[in-house]
Amino acid sequence: MTTHLNEGQQQALKCAIQEGLPIDSRPYLVLANIIGGSEEAVIHCIEKWIGSGLIKRFGIVVKHHSLGYTSNAMVVWNVSDEIVDELGEQIKQSGLVTLCYRRPRRLPDWNYNLFCMIHGKNRDQVLAQLDELIESCQLKDVEHDVLFSYKQFKQCGGRYHNLEKANSHG
């Protein structure tokens, strides 16, 4: 059985790659040597995890602040439950938002159920992108609010064992 990893090896592989893929010409071979499996089995296993959705993305993760994306707004919408999924799909496909989720309302204090994030290099760029979104998805009559962030208090590094926190938005 050289093409399959046992449970212990799979667990070890998850831990080994959370630190990052080895910067080596044969990174999967390096990992295979660490966990005591074959290169072929490591490749097969990672492909399987991507296929099953356990790994939702495999590549580089950027620090968006250092790339100049310093402004972000959480834009929230009050959409009727019947069309919220349809609208969520449209917003996603617009290419203008970085994240889009449906969440519960918390009445009476919070009556928005569709959340998206717009990142930009400054506040004006974020607002211009929002205008474009409103135009392209015909949202001008939908009740909404724009919550800019003006201070970030905490961001920790995203790893498997502390659950990818830095890169998730709940």
Q: Enumerate residues 76-95 that contact another protein by CB under 8 A.
A: 85, 88-89, 91-92
Query: Whole-angstrom Cα distance, residue 43 to residue 31?
Result: 10
Query: Whole-angstrom Cα distance, residue 168 to residue 76?
Result: 18
- From the list 4-12, 129-137, 154-162, the region that binds another protein by CB under 8 A is 154-162
Query: Whole-angstrom Cα distance, residue 58 to residue 46?
Result: 9
Torsion region of 104: left, alpha or beta (phi above 0 gives left; psi -120 to 50 gives alpha): beta
User: Does 148 sit near another protein (CB under 8 A)?
Assistant: yes
Query: Whole-angstrom Cα distance, residue 127 to residue 100?
Result: 17
Site for another protein in 7-46 (CB under 8 A): 17-21, 23-29, 39, 43, 46
Question: 85 or 143, CB closer to another protein?
Answer: 85
Q: Which of 9, 119, 126, 137 binds another protein (CB under 8 A)?
A: 119
Question: 85 or 131, CB closer to another protein?
Answer: 85
Site for another protein in 121-140 (CB under 8 A): none
Say which residue the tokens 């502390």 belong to.
Answer: 162
Q: How far is the CB of 72 from another protein (least distance, A)?
A: 8
